[in-house]
A and B are shown apart, each in its own frame.
Chain A
Amino acid sequence: NAGVMQNPRHLVRRRGQEARLRCSPMKGHSHVYWYRQLPEEGLKFMVYLQKENIIDESGMPKERFSAEFPKEGPSILRIQQVVRGDSAAYFCASSLGNEQFFGPGTRLTVL
């Protein structure tokens, strides 16, 4: 049973470009969470989605960030007009209940 998959693993963008991060949950999991990890910090919750629905986006910045989890395909975290402060590791997790299983993350570097 494949674990949570994320791609790309590393992403480099220049300021003002768009970043798209993809997450495929574990088979059978319908809950997806996105977290951001700044250097030497813990993970901070961003958004929780179920298929075609955003359930909780209380951790998402109000501007430039959006997320979706379509009926078919992976969940997407989209960052428009990236700035240097967006440089971080972005992790997604999937679950059926309490237990969350994390992917390997996407490390975004904004030049």
Chain B
Amino acid sequence: GENVEQHPSTLSVQEGDSAVIKCTYSDSASNYFPWYKQELGKGPQLIIDIRSNVGEKKDQRIAVTLNKTAKHFSLHITETQPEDSAVYFCAVTMNSGYSTLTFGKGTMLLVSP
């Protein structure tokens, strides 16, 4: 089955700095890569996603890059703010008619004012 590795497990930055979280996956057939943000006591919230026919996608301060050859993708957050503090999960799926997600173990991001 699919295996997703996520690094780092924790990340502390100062407000205004950039943060980068990386994930690698094992199944080359995977073609949909979402990122979720989970705040304490809440469910995961989809923040950005990318499909395998695209190398980069940007939405304001958030961007995701995908390298299908190397089987890794990254989340980039610029100009971080304290409200960005949360646990971030990457996930992977194959478009096989439905989309069971395989998640990484998460990165706890702490943005200090």
Secondary structure of the B contact surface, majority rule: strand
Question: In chain B, what residue has the closest Cβ to A99?
Answer: B46
Secondary structure of the A contact surface, majority rule: strand
Those of B1-24 within 8 Å (CB) of chain A: 4, 6
A55 within 8 A of B: yes
Those of A31-72 within 8 Å (CB) of chain B: 31, 33, 35, 40-45, 48, 55-56, 59
A104 touching B105 in the complex, CB below 8 Å, given contacts A48-B98, A56-B100? no
Question: Which one, B46, B100, B103, B106, contacts A48 given CB within 8 A?
Answer: B100
Question: Which one, B32, B43, B98, B104, contacts A55 given CB within 8 A?
Answer: B98
Size of chain A's interface in residues, with CB distance under 8 A? 26
Question: Which one, B4, B43, B98, B105, contacts A91 given CB within 8 A?
Answer: B43
| Nearest 10 interchain pairs by C-beta | A42-B103, A102-B43, A42-B105, A104-B43, A98-B99, A43-B103, A102-B44, A98-B32, A45-B100, A105-B43
